[in-house]
Structure 1
């Protein structure tokens, strides 16, 4: 049996999906999002899980009945209360990160990426002032973008990203 070598880009793509989804993601969802075969995705997932197991990382990829998840190992969960802003849970922060990376992003694209729970995250983020929504000129979705409060709160330097 030939051992297939996967390009790092498939593993990295899967890793990014699991990070951004922040919830168990089924094999079929990953296949659809990566546009690769089920066999390729399964083999890349096994390789990725193995990589995490051997790299002495605080993160791990686990398989549950609901799907695959990238998560913090249990011994590091106590750090969450000290590092995550009290008003935002981890899933909401990941939604905020997805918005910040793509800002502006259509809400419909965000929901495709993060799942329907992102609707609640968007409401929380608008209410907290980290993002703003504006109606799409043509279409039914909203444009989502980070606000000045986001930049100040996270000490994010806009000029630095514009230079890169």
Structure 2
């Protein structure tokens, strides 16, 4: 459940999802905490302010941040989705649909390698890159709308 939900869960949530008592859940969670503490792996179970979470061990978090940019804001995510679904898309059309904030989002997405832009007339033609497909583990944008 910690893996599937990908966010911290408290004991009450865990017991509800597992359809068991809080006591049984607490016992299983203690076993899981002990098991992960003994493993020589990249993952750990952490007791956070928001609940229990399956996460990368701290020494590896910086490496992952450098390799996989996960700091894509919600506005940039929406812009990226629009480019993926309607692309290739002229930047001028994107700005009409998303507003002037799209300029900064496009610049950020280009820097992160998720989209490319090619000069077309007085605007740019925007399209998603191979990194987009690899990062989101899809082969075709139509997989997103099925």
TM-score by length of 1: 0.46
1:45 aligned onto 2:24:
no
- Contact kept, 8 Å, 1:151 with 1:157, in 2: the verdict is no
1:16 aligned onto 2:28:
no
- Contact kept, 8 Å, 1:62 with 1:68, in 2: the verdict is yes
Query: 5+ unaligned residues in a row in structure 1: which ranges?
Result: 1-12, 93-119, 133-147
- CA shift for structure 1 position 76: 1.2
> Following the alignment from structure 1 to structure 2, what is the Cα–Cα distance between the partners of residues 124 and 38?
40
What RMSD, in angstroms, separates the aligned Cα atoms of the two structures?
A: 3.2
> Following the alignment from structure 2 to structure 1, what is the Cα–Cα distance between the partners of residues 130 and 51?
34
Which has the higher Rg, Structure 1 or Structure 2?
2
Indicate how the Cα distance of structure 1 residues 57 and 80 shifts in structure 2: closer, same or farther if over 3 A, else same: same
1:34 aligned onto 2:13:
no
Q: Secondary structure of the residue that 1:129 maps to in structure 2? A: helix
Give 1:74-113 correspondences, 5 Å limit.
Answer: 74-85=58-69, 88-89=70-71
Indicate how the Cα distance of structure 1 residues 82 and 27 shifts in structure 2: closer, same or farther if over 3 A, else same: same
TM-score by length of 2: 0.51
Residue-pair matches, total:
97
> Following the alignment from structure 1 to structure 2, what is the Cα–Cα distance between the partners of residues 128 and 76?
27
Structure 1 runs (4+) deviating above 4 angstroms are 148-152
